[in-house]
Structure 1
Amino acid sequence: MKTYFTVLLLGFLIGCGSSKVEQEVVLNETARASSSTTTSIGTESDKSELTHANDVPIRSFNIAQEHFSNNEKVAEIMNFLASDELQGRETGSEGIAKAADFIETSFKENGIAPYFSSYRDTLVNFDQPAFNIVGFVEGKDPLLKKQFIIIGAHYDHIGTLTEENGDSIANGANDNASGTTTVLELARYFGAMRDNRRSIIFALFSAEEKGLIGSKHLAQKLKGENLNLYAMLNFEMVGVPLSGRNYDMYVTGYRNSNLAEICNRYAKEKLVGFLPSAADMNLFQRSDNYPFFSEFNVPAQTFCTFDFTNFNHYHKVGDENALMNFDHMASIINKSIPVVKGIANSPIKEIIWHR
């Protein structure tokens, strides 16, 4: 009777136009209510741990995952972060301070707790007031929650440039309002569902354009606190789709780990592939993943859909929202949800670094 009532309630809420977050929470509760009849995953020795953690198999949330983010939600975030009002979000500027306020508000509204005493992690290695914004969702497993995954992106850009066709603002829509939006949407999902067994830190970095300064600061700080870091997953320039590829994103340091294989298994498609030019240009060391690899010596890699051929406005005033593909971005977000969830919930550390 309980299961029958829950199914009726789910159908009523979805049919009556409830919000997506409300629908997803009902899906969550429905899965939990029926967990006793759901096939468990893992080995026989894992099953007691999964039951103890009230784990929900990955497939329980396919509907919510596939439709969680959308064009409108992506546009709402992007249209602020890459607006002229923020004047290109240069580190230390009034514009990036407004972006920080926006990110902090998003965390608060979506149930993301501050990781430190506040969301603002002040940089000690920069000569102007600047800070990362750092929140987290604690894992639900009493043991695995002591292990952390960091989901990151930089939210700064390069400010203003010499005027070109009447425009001097380097809005940084692709670089990296797109990555920031991806992290905020992933945070919104996990803040609503709270179904991660490992703890997840959501970090938005300042001063990446000054030489990875924000991520270096946070990596050193967390290392000094002996954070048990499992992996760092970074999103950089995901605003336009790749062209002529049989995958949606590439990952830097592809040959250094089995991360692409893990991602594709959880995505149930070829979501992540190998871009030869990424290795040729040593992109692994050129984004905010690298300080975490340097400090922790754990898998730390960047996902990207910019391959230097599909977007002609890198570090130019033409990096505008009008050129972004919000449907593509929503798709990347939705396809990344089961990937992050799978990595966060696996009873073992699946990502292997080839040392």
Structure 2
Amino acid sequence: MKKLFSILILVLIVSCAIKQKGDDGAPGKSSEKITVKAEDIKTSMEYLASDELQGRATGSRGIEKAAVYIENYFKRNGIKPYFESYRDSFMLNDIVGYNVVGMIEGTDDKLKDEFIILGGHYDHIGKGKVVEGDSIANGANDDASGTIAAMEFGRYFSKSKTNKRSILITLYSAEEMGLKGSAHLAKRLNEAGLNAYTMINFEMIGVPRSKEESMAYMSGYNRSNFAPILNKYAGEEVVGFFPKAKEFQLFYRSDNYPFFKEFNMPAHAISTFDFTNFDYYHHVDDEADKMDYIHMTNFVNKMIPALEGMMNSPTKEVVLNEQ
């Protein structure tokens, strides 16, 4: 009887130890495997780029529905508001615009005071040139794709808790009106004294590039060492150099630029659209059924270890280059 009692005590001790550890035995790590799935990306895309949202023009009923969808996604996945609510509102003449901002707190007592900003613009142009009776410019690639990528990164890090630095998921309106939403938010965050380290804007990542090219490219590639650092942690060249980016002035044309201006920090846009691989820029045929969901899923999954490495390095590895 005494021997049986000893065995029971041992079993209890072992089971308690297993509960306190993850599958790999690491204390505090969740045993739940966090995955980014193509079907989840497709579900978000089929709503955000649906006719119901009428092209998501800033100030429209459609963009209000998009904002509510994003807010509910944040709530469902434990992404907290950074401000008193998820909305960062501003006025453009008589139009009310609002960015949607969520936060994932870092896990390191010191590094969590430094912020990584991930973003994309969730507005689009509303109506476009009529083609076969269709006038709704749904904006699937531009930029529901980048918006969804940022949302998926938010979900992943909120669940995995593998970010030592804190993260802001920032989704902008009024990009199509001249980067007005991101300019408002960048100014507000700077004036509030946010300790911002880096910023990445995801812009049109819904279609793959040629197999001979890197999966994605970064605007303003030579302005910092951001791309090499990300590729180091990814273990491959996920983010490459696009020669025409400078010719097209892409660094200044996307929502990274206001953050660069306000914070003078590494702030870039990452894209997989290179003006040769998608014919429907600002076109009514920029629709959900033309997106490559396997490509989008691969892009997000390849970027996760790249972001983790940068978020968790003990020092600020990413720096601006001398121009």
What TM-score comes out, normalization by structure 1 length? 0.83
Show the counterpart of 1:268: 235
Greater Cα shift, 330-339 or 286-295: 330-339
Show the counterpart of 1:255: 222
* Distance verdict in 2 for CA 1:169–1:261, change over 3 Å: same
Q: Cα RMSD over matched residues? A: 2.3
* Distance verdict in 2 for CA 1:168–1:269, change over 3 Å: same
Which protein is bigger by CA-based radius of gyration?
A: 2
The 8 Å contact of residues 124 and 217 in structure 1, kept in 2 or not, is answered as no
CA distance in 2 between partners of 1:8 and 1:287 (Å)? 48
Show the counterpart of 2:4: none
Deviation at 1:88, TM superposition (A): 0.2
| Alignment match of 2:253 (pick from 262, 286, 293) | 286
Show the counterpart of 2:184: 217
CA distance in 1 between partners of 2:90 and 2:197 (Å)? 24
The 8 Å contact of residues 246 and 270 in structure 1, kept in 2 or not, is answered as no
Matched, 1:155 2:108: no
Matched, 1:104 2:58: no
| Alignment match of 2:22 (pick from 11, 26, 29) | 29
Trace 1:1-355 onto structure 2 (pairs within 5 A): 29-31=22-24, 33-34=25-26, 64=33, 68-125=35-92, 127-355=94-322
1:122-177 C-alpha deviation (Å, 9 max, x unpaired): 02455312100001011111111111010000000000123211100000000001
* Distance verdict in 2 for CA 1:3–1:353, change over 3 Å: farther
| Identity score, percent | 50
Give the number of aligned pairs: 312
Q: Counterpart of 1:263 in 2: which secondary structure?
A: helix
Q: Counterpart of 2:116 in 1: which secondary structure?
A: strand
CA distance in 1 between partners of 2:16 and 2:218 (Å)? 41
The 8 Å contact of residues 128 and 282 in structure 2, kept in 1 or not, is answered as no
What TM-score comes out, normalization by structure 2 length? 0.91
Greater Cα shift, 340-349 or 78-87: 340-349
Gaps of 5+ in 1: 10-25, 36-53
Q: Counterpart of 1:129 in 2: which secondary structure?
A: strand
CA distance in 1 between partners of 2:63 and 2:255 (Å)? 18
Runs of 4+ in 1 over 4 A off after TM superposition: 1-9
* Distance verdict in 2 for CA 1:125–1:229, change over 3 Å: farther
The 8 Å contact of residues 7 and 30 in structure 1, kept in 2 or not, is answered as no
Deviation at 1:340, TM superposition (A): 1.5
The 8 Å contact of residues 174 and 238 in structure 1, kept in 2 or not, is answered as yes
The 8 Å contact of residues 149 and 231 in structure 1, kept in 2 or not, is answered as yes
User: Which amino acid letter does the alignment assign opposite residue 148 of structure 1?
Assistant: F
